[in-house]
């Protein structure tokens, strides 16, 4: 299996580490940054490229990890799909709905196996939460992504490159709530800009987003990139005599029908998402994937609606 990367920045390091644990070597790497790509190519003993077209033409790759920031996406995933490689794409899959829709269709047309890096779907606590909730219906799902962003990613604080915190970061929470509660019909978001004195972001640095799910459930996602909260990524589920609190990555607690739930997971989802992807590739079975590109496009649609709502102040259809 010949594995390649488009984008070898921060999260690619995490994916490469999982591949290393699985004993899967990387054959080729591509990054716009020539210094970075040489450094990673040397570490991986892989061939370096700075142009993905050239890499796709020369390397005959079976599997491609695409790990580039949302605002940098052009046709990388479309070109990779047309090369016939199975695709693992970092979340969020882009900023531009038209491009994402065209990419989704190109993947379907090429018929290649595909997965998006929504690792929370692969964590022990998410599996356990689904198991203990069973077929009880969920009436409310709330979540949060609270952190203080540093300066490590110069693109992050720019709306035009990252899409803002809800689209880039809290996307994990929106996606997890979709996975656990159901499809989102409409959203209404509010936010405030200019909270940090050092200008962490040019977009809203605190946001709240109410959710109305198609099945009638309600919810909310609260986000900030200016506060050092210590259980930053968390979700809570509510139903009739049901309460579950997931603190990512490994803690689940709650009470279901009078039974106290206290569970500590081992697997955060980061490793398992890559392991599961390779199992799906080897079996050529898209059903083994919990987070396809087409599914991730629905999460993007929700966060794009949340961004529109920040501007209009109105309820927006997802």
Ligand X SMILES: NC(=O)c1ccc[n+]([C@@H]2O[C@H](COP(=O)([O-])OP(=O)(O)OC[C@H]3O[C@@H](n4cnc5c(N)ncnc54)[C@H](O)[C@@H]3O)[C@@H](O)[C@H]2O)c1
For ligand X, the binding residues (CB under 6 A) are: 6-12, 30-33, 36, 52, 67-70, 72, 76, 90-92, 117, 119, 153, 168
Please, which residues have CB within 8 angstroms of residue 35's CB and are 6 or more apart in sequence? none
Give least dist CB 6 to ligand X, A.
5
Q: Are strands 251-256 and 259-264 parallel, antiparallel or unpaired?
A: antiparallel
Give least dist CB 312 to ligand X, A.
25
Q: Where are the beta strands (DSSP E) in 53-137?
A: 63-66, 86-89, 114-116
Token match 């709905």: residue? 97
Closest Cα partner for 301 from 165, 160, 175, 189?
Answer: 175
Q: Cα 300 from chain centroid?
A: 9
Strand partners, 244: 237, 254
Tokens of 145: 């992504």
Give least dist CB 285 to ligand X, A.
23
Q: Which is nearer to ligand X, 188 or 291 (CB)?
A: 291
Q: Which is nearer to ligand X, 30 or 180 (CB)?
A: 30
Q: Which is nearer to ligand X, 74 or 137 (CB)?
A: 74
Give least dist CB 164 to ligand X, A.
12
CA distances from 261 to 122, 134, 140, 162, 243 (A): 19, 14, 18, 37, 9
Q: From CA 222, how far away is CA 135, in angstroms rounded?
A: 27
Q: Which is nearer to ligand X, 35 or 287 (CB)?
A: 35
Q: Which is nearer to ligand X, 8 or 173 (CB)?
A: 8
Name the residue number minimizing CB distance to ligand X.
Answer: 9
Give least dist CB 301 to ligand X, A.
17
Strand partners, 255: 243, 260
Give least dist CB 163 to ligand X, A.
9
Q: Cα 16 from chain centroid?
A: 17
Q: Which is nearer to ligand X, 30 or 46 (CB)?
A: 30
């Amino acid at each position: 299996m010949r594995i390649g990367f488009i984008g070898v920045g921060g999260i690619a390091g995490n994916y490469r580490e999982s591949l290393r644990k699985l004993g899967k070597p990387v054959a080729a790497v591509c990054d716009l940054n020539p210094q970075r790509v040489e450094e990673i190519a040397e570490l991986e003993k892989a061939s370096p490229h700075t142009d993905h077209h050239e890499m796709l033409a020369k390397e005959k790759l079976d599997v491609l990890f695409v790990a580039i920031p949302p605002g940098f996406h052009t046709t990388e995933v479309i070109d990779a799909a047309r090369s016939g490689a199975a695709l693992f794409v970092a979340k969020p899959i882009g900023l531009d709905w038209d491009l994402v829709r065209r990419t989704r269709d190109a993947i379907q047309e090429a018929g290649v196996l595909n997965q998006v890096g929504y690792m929370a779907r692969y964590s022990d606590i998410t599996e356990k939460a689904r198991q203990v909730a069973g077929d009880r219906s969920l009436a409310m799902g709330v979540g949060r992504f609270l952190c203080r962003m540093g300066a490590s990613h110069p693109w992050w604080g720019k709306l035009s490159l990252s899409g803002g915190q809800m689209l880039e970061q809290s996307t994990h929470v929106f996606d997890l709530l979709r996975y656990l509660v159901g499809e989102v019909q409409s959203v209404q978001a509010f936010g405030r800009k200019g909270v940090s004195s050092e200008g962490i972001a040019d977009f809203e640095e605190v946001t709240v987003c109410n959710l109305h799910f198609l099945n009638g459930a309600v919810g909310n996602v609260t986000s900030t990139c200016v506060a050092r909260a210590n259980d930053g990524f968390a979700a809570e589920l509510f139903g009739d005599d049901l309460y579950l609190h997931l603190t990512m990555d490994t803690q689940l607690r709650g009470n279901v029908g009078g039974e106290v739930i206290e569970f500590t997971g081992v697997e955060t989802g980061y490793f398992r998402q890559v392991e599961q992807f390779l199992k799906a590739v080897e079996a050529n079975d898209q059903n083994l994937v919990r987070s396809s590109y087409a599914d991730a496009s629905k999460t993007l649609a929700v966060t794009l609606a949340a961004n529109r709502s920040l501007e209009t102040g109105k309820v927006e259809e997802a």
